[in-house]
A and B are shown apart, each in its own frame.
Chain A
Amino acid sequence: EAGVAQSPRYKIIEKRQSVAFWCNPISGHATLYWYQQILGQGPKLLIQFQNNGVVDDSQLPKDRFSAERLKGVDSTLKIQPAKLEDSAVYLCASSLEVDRGRQDTQYFGPGTRLTVL
């Protein structure tokens, strides 16, 4: 079974430029998550999708970050314009389903390391 795919693996940009990351979850997984992992810290949730609807985006800096999940499969996360503090690893994860009383494992992709100069 193929895992969560992400691209690119690395990206270096100047501040104020824009950047986009792509994620392809495990086939059949309804729930998709984007996490931001700053060096020396644990991942922090940015946004969660259930199929193609947003479940939680309370920690997404909406003035510069946007995300979409077309047709409930692939997802893109965009930053425009980027700031120095956006330098981090962006992790995508997916799970089969999230439902009351049910627990499903989140499977993570390899991440995209973003450096903003």
Chain B
Amino acid sequence: AQTVTQSQPEMSVQEAETVTLSCTYDTSESDYYLFWYKQPPSRQMILVIRQEAYKQQNATENRFSVNFQKAAKSFSLKISDSQLGDAAMYFCAYRSADYGGSQGNLIFGKGTKLSVKP
């Protein structure tokens, strides 16, 4: 079974600085997708960025970028120029590309609570 581990329960960053959130996963599959979701205090989960395992190029979305290391099974999120609105819980998630079993099921880590200091 696939697992996702986020080893940093809490992180803090100064406004305008850069922070990196860590995520590792375990899988025997070769084709899969990885995601970072943001969950503000209002609880609405929002997709931040996603990565297809077959793509070597790291995904980027404005101030958000990932460092995908497939061999190491590592998927970290870098937030540049941090803003107060970035404060939230961040979840790393895995999804199999093999639809023989669970189709579309996201497997989440426990999350990292990010605080942004003004």
Q: A residues touching B (Cβ–Cβ < 8 Å)?
A: 3, 31, 33, 35, 40-45, 48, 50, 55-56, 58, 89, 91, 93, 95, 98-101, 103-111, 113
Residues of B within 8 A of A41 (CB): 110-111
Closest to B33 in A: A103
Closest to A56 in B: B102
> Quick check: is B56 within 8 A (CB to CB) of the other chain?
no
A42→B93 contact, CB < 8 A: yes
Residues of A within 8 A of B110 (CB): 40-42
B33→A108 contact, CB < 8 A: no
Residue from B4, B97, B105 in contact with A48 in the complex, judged by beta carbons closer than 8 Å = B105
Give the contacts of B72-118 with A (CB-CB under 8 A). Answer: 91, 93, 95, 97, 99, 101-106, 108-111
Type the 1/0 row for B25-36, where 1 means its CB is closer than 8 Å to any CB of A: 000000001000
A108→B106 contact, CB < 8 A: no
- Known contacts A103-B52, A110-B43: does B91 contact A42 (CB below 8 Å)? yes
> Quick check: is B16 within 8 A (CB to CB) of the other chain?
no
Give me 16 A-to-B residue pairs in the complex whose CB atoms sit less than 8 angstroms apart, sorted by A's number.
A3-B44, A33-B104, A42-B91, A42-B109, A42-B110, A43-B45, A43-B106, A43-B108, A55-B103, A91-B43, A99-B99, A103-B50, A103-B95, A103-B97, A105-B47, A106-B106
